[in-house]
Structure 1
């Protein structure tokens, strides 16, 4: 008689792992079809009546640059016939200010390209965003996570989008307190020329959306916005983030959610497959041609948070520094060096024997993308 053997969960799980381990990635051949669809990202801020529009063109996967759409005529229109022209501030970037926005009106964008094609968005209503309740950080084993909380007591928001601007304070490895005025002439470096401490500011590039539509109350709690690993330059001294929040329509939320899933979650076996995502723009000249992008409007609320190195738990108080070595220049050789050589300080006592120098990236903090101008909000 054949003995029946019952395969339990451990065996089944092991077989599943083996099957998954046998899956080889498939890299399909790159589709070399040329595409040149318009991409429009537009927003009307009710805070100050600012309208911003970014225009570009789609490119094939193998393309290395995204060309901006320059030379277009861009206007904002309301449903009562008022028209507000936008100016091109830089290539593909259009804006205007001072628009009187009304919650009782609807608005749309009109774009006429240099190729005489007309593009319109759908008419949209502006949305009012509730305040951000809190922006805070919590420690992990390998870094910190920054979270955002918000809620709408009226239950009218439900769909949210966030962006942020990060600023951090950092220093170079060496402080330069003297400089070469001309060959052989060394003078103290004026305080306004110090390049030891810098502040760097960068804007978010990801897509961050959240929804409370499936909850009884319109509440977002502990939305994970930013992860900063330990020993990051951002946490070396002091870090700040300014979080901006918008309320979206359901249509806008679905657009940004699909875009986020398509652009940021690809690569895994269970990730969503790429799809053509269109927003609320259409091509009035050739309706068969798709248009990518979305126009929405409303208030933008902000909240800032600071983190200091000394606030971090001990296991996260690590810093990463560049490997920098100070070289010496003998006093009699200093005449061979011009103002382009960065000096740290003199050495020798009681008489100066020479000067110390190092690589520019070790002395000038600006080489890491920052500026020596302290932000007005810094504390």
Structure 2
């Protein structure tokens, strides 16, 4: 069964391709290499023994997407990762995010709605909840006003998918995941940000390597255990496996609604300082950091209630924060030793 993975050479996408191939799916990867490299394709092949089909396509190019689907007529499922994903960058350059994240989704769905039936997994985010009133966050928590253009694109993306699913053969699962970190146990693929990292853990590992002078902790006056922001950090392989389970549910027709929503996290929140302490413990490295002013777009706290994803999909995270951080540190050491 042929599955399209957009953004399939990115951090989460590449790990998901590995898990799909392990389950026997025939994967086609689309990526424009804006935040990834072809070396990732080699890593996927080294792990799985299978080199997935790859097409360099920019999903903002409507005609290129049309040509792709003319060549690949037998796509049965799509996992859509391709999007820009940094909160801070989206505040600085909102039009980039609206164009990239929304036009690409629209053009993709325009092709998929021509099919009699197709399964669609959307890479959504816990940012759709804004600052939720209650913790842990359930799927029934109200969608709050977005704190950033990035979060807004995820809210709008979900709305677009719901509307299109009503009038087409598209069945969809929206996976609202929290903060993916870590690397594959083979050490062949992992998080590889181009330029200055926008996420906490790669900035931590690069600081520990001496690539960055020090880590900035944005605010220590939040209403949390130690004043720093709290997030739910999930190992990327656990997250990748959730995508495969969700896709299988749709392909087998086990979904109860045309569009279903699931939180994907560990169910446990960790503050920035707790992450730093855990990293120092597993890496045996002292991390230089300083407390600076709060960053626009950051919410105080977010961690998942995972009851629904366990009940309906039988999935739950298996790896600890320490295991995730250690894998990220091992990966950082590998890529810097090249």
**TM-score where L is the length of structure 2:** 0.25
Structure showing greater radius of gyration is 1
**TM-score where L is the length of structure 1:** 0.23
Q: Which has the higher helix share?
A: 2
Q: Which has the higher strand share?
A: 1
